[in-house]
Structure 1
Amino acid sequence: MTVEHGETQSTQPLIPLHCLRRAEPGPPRLAALPNGTPVWLATRHADVRQVLTDPRLDRATLFAPDAPPTSTGPNLLDDPEGLLNIDGPEHQRLRRTVQRAFTPRAIERWRPWVETVVEELIDSLQASGSPVDVVAGFTRSLPVAVISRLMDLDGIDHERLAHWSDHALSASAYPAEQVREAMREFYAFSGQLIAQRRKSPGEDLVSSLLLAADATEGVTEGQLVALVCGLVVAGHETTMTSLGNALVQLLSESPAAWARIGADPESATAAAEQLLRAVPLSDATEAPGLLRRAVADLEIGGVAIPAGSVVAADVRTANHDPEVYPPSDTLDHFAPLGTPSLTFGAGPHHCLGAWLARMELELGLHQLAKRLPGLRLADPVEEISWRRGLLTRSPAALQVAW
Structure 2
Amino acid sequence: MTVAYPFNDTGSLDLHEAYLEALETPGMLRIQMPHGEPAWLATRYADARFVLGDRRFSRAMAAERDEPRMRAGRNAGGFLSMDPPDHTRLRTLVAKAFTVRRIEELRPRVRDLATHLVEDMVAVGPPVDLVDAFALALPVQVICELLGVPASDRSRFRVWSNNVMSTSRLTTEEFNTSQDEMHAYIRGLVADHRAVPRDDLMTALIEAHDEGDRLSEVELVNMCSAILVAGHETTASQIPNFLVTLLDHPRAMDKLRSDPTLIPGAVEELLRFIPLGAGAAFSRYATEDVKVGDVLVREGEPVIVAIGAANRDGLRFEEPNTLRVEAPPEQHLALGHGIHHCLGAALARMELQEALRVLLAELPGLHLAGEIVWKTEMLVRGPVTMPVGW
TM-score, scaled relative to structure 2: 0.93
Could you tell me which residue of structure 2 aligns to residue 312 of structure 1? 304
Q: Residue 6 of structure 1: CA displacement?
A: 4.9
Residue equivalent to 1:30: 30
User: What is the aligned length?
Assistant: 382
- SS of the aligned residue for 2:232 comes to helix
Q: Shift of residue 19 of structure 1?
A: 5.6
Matches within 5 A, 1:70-81: 70-71=68-69, 72-75=71-74, 78-80=75-77
Cα distance in 2 for residues equivalent to 1:34 and 1:5: 7
2:326 aligns with 334
In structure 1, what is the equivalent of residue 124 of structure 2? 128
Deviations 1:36-92 (A, max 9, x none): 62101111111111111111111111011xx124232325xx322x10111111111
Give the counterpart letter for 1:171 in structure 2: T
Q: Which residue of 2 aligns with 1:322?
A: 314
How much has 1:118 moved relative to structure 2?
A: 0.5
Q: What's the C-alpha RMSD, in Å, of the aligned pairs?
A: 1.9
Contact 1:167 1:182 in 2 (8 A): yes
Choose which of 349, 352, 355 in structure 2 pairs with 1:361. Answer: 352
What per-residue deviation string (whole Å, max 9, x for no partner) do you get for residues 158-198 of structure 1? 32121010001121122222222211110001111111112
Q: Which residue of structure 2 lines up, in the alignment, with residue 192 of structure 1? A: 188
> Partners of 1:164 and 1:57 in 2: how far apart?
30
The residue that corresponds to 2:263 in the other structure is: 268
Structure 1 unaligned segments of length 5 or more: list them. none
Structure 1 residues 156 and 276: alpha-carbon distance in aligned structure 2, compared to 1, 3 A threshold: same
Partner Cα distance (2:152, 2:296) in 1:
50
Unpaired segments of 5 or more residues in structure 2?
none
Q: Which residue of 167, 174, 197 maps to 1:171?
A: 167
Query: Cα distance 1:318–1:96, how it changes in 2: closer, same or farther (>3 A)?
Result: same
Aligned twin of 1:48: 48
State the match for 1:291 in structure 2.
Answer: 283
The 2-side partners of 1:37 and 1:308 are apart by 11
Q: How big is the shift at 1:329?
A: 5.0
SS for the counterpart of 1:344 is coil
Q: Which amino acid aligns with 1:74?
A: G
Within a 5 Å distance, the mapping from 1:383-394 to structure 2 comes to 383-394=371-382
Compared CA separation, residues 366 and 5, structure 1 to 2 (3 A): farther
How far apart, CA to CA, are the structure 2 residues paired with 1:348 and 1:217? 23
Contact 1:259 1:373 in 2 (8 A): no
Residues 238-278 of structure 1 deviation map (CA, whole Å, 9 limit, x = unaligned): 10111121111112x12222233234332111111111111
Write the mapping of 1:2-401 to structure 2, written as runs, cut at 5 A.
Answer: 6=6, 14-18=10-14, 20-21=16-17, 22-23=19-20, 24-25=22-23, 26-35=26-35, 37-64=37-64, 67-71=65-69, 72-75=71-74, 78-80=75-77, 82-214=78-210, 216-251=212-247, 253-284=248-279, 288-327=280-319, 330-337=322-329, 339-379=330-370, 383-401=371-389
Contact 1:173 1:389 in 2 (8 A): yes
Q: Determine helix, strand or coil for the equivalent of 1:393.
A: coil
Paired letter, 1:147? I
Q: Matched residues in 2 for 1:99 and 1:240: separation?
A: 22
Instruction: Return the alpha-carbon distance in structure 2 between the equivalents of residues 367 and 355 of structure 1.
Output: 18
Residues 59, 282 of structure 2: 8 Å contact kept: no
- State the Cα distance separating 1:154 from its structure 2 match: 3.2
Task: Tell me how far apart the structure 1 counterparts of residues 294 and 212 of structure 2 sit (CA, whole Å).
Answer: 41
Q: Structure 2: how far apart are the matches of 1:46 and 1:106?
A: 32
User: Which piece of structure 1 moves more, 29-38 or 18-27?
Assistant: 18-27
- What secondary structure does 2:41 align onto? strand
State the alpha-carbon separation in 1 of the partners of residues 110 and 321 from structure 2.
34
Distance 1:19 1:309 in 2: 26
TM-score, normalised relative to structure 1: 0.90
- Measured after TM superposition, the shift of residue 218 of structure 1 is 4.7
- What letter matches 1:324 in structure 2? R
